[in-house]
Amino acid sequence: MVRLRARHVLGDPGEMSNGPASHDRLDDAVAANLSALLEHRRKVERARTIHERIADRIARFAGTMYFAYAHAVLFGVWLVWNSIPGVPHWDPYPFVMLAMFASVEAIFLSTFVLVSQNRMAQLADQRADLDLQINLLSEREITRVLALACRIAVRLGVRDQPADVSDLQRDVDPRELLETIDEASAEDEEQRPHRQRSRRGPAPRP
């Protein structure tokens, strides 16, 4: 009797999960999410400045093996040509021009990489904020579903419920959770010197 009433309230799981309409709705939701993500990515790409585009392309090329092969060939030819006797040398040993060229190139490459990394870090922060918002919404939805399930259980006469079900039905306050994490981190930082001293043992007596 209880199973029949539960099926009447919640519906048949087989009909809910195996029907073609549910699959179509799921496919439509996935397609809509992918379309939104791709549109946002294209929007971000279009919003880049010319300086960011140049920095991204240089940083992307510098992270490939073609860049390493080109430098190996260039430096190899440079060193061999300026080491062969009897030919004109534009940078004889100790290859001061080559060292200066490599130093200047390293400065510019590090700048381009930092510019690209800063932009990627900004995008990562946005994705982290989006993940946090989705997690908070999911937690709120799960809390509502749990409260609804508890009401259904009470209506069906199910009395065997977890002791902490009332705590699970409460919404999580993100500010309170962040404050708790900060307090725990501060306490850990304060206790770290004491733990280090305890690991080292007592100081030797003079």
Model confidence at 29, pLDDT cuts 50, 70, 90, reads confident
pLDDT of amino acid 23: 64
pLDDT beyond 90 at 96: yes
pLDDT of amino acid 10: 40
Average pLDDT, the chain: 80
pLDDT of amino acid 105: 94
- Between the alpha carbon of residue 25 and those of residues 16, 19, 205, the distances in Å are 12, 10, 76
pLDDT of amino acid 200: 62
Rounded-to-integer distance, Cα 133 and Cα 16, Å: 28
Average pLDDT over every residue of 117-132: 88
pLDDT of amino acid 170: 75
Residues 68-104 as b or e (16 or more Cβ within 10 Å = b): eeeeeeeeeebeeebeeeeeeeebeeebeeeeeeeee
Q: With pLDDT > 90 as the criterion, what percentage of the chain qualifies?
A: 25
pLDDT beyond 80 at 98: yes
Rounded-to-integer distance, Cα 177 and Cα 141, Å: 18
DSSP secondary structure string for all residues of the chain = -HHHHHHHHH--HHHHHHSHHHHHHHHHHHHHHHHHHHHHHHHHHHT--HHHHHHHHHHHHHTSHHHHHHHHHHHHHHHHHTTSTTS--SS-TTTHHHHHHHHHHHHHHHHHHHHHHHHHHHHHHHHHHHHHHHHHHHHHHHHHHHHHHHHHHHHHT-----TTHHHHTSPP-HHHHHHHHHHHHHHHHHHHHHHHHHHH-SPPP-
pLDDT digits (tens, 9 = 90+) for 42-95: 888 888 889 888 999 999 999 999 999 999 999 999 999 999 888 888 888 889
pLDDT digits (tens, 9 = 90+) for 166-190: 767 777 777 887 788 888 888 888 8
**Residue type, position 143, single letter:** T
pLDDT beyond 60 at 14: no
pLDDT beyond 80 at 26: no
pLDDT beyond 60 at 204: no
pLDDT beyond 50 at 194: yes
Model confidence at 159, pLDDT cuts 50, 70, 90, reads confident
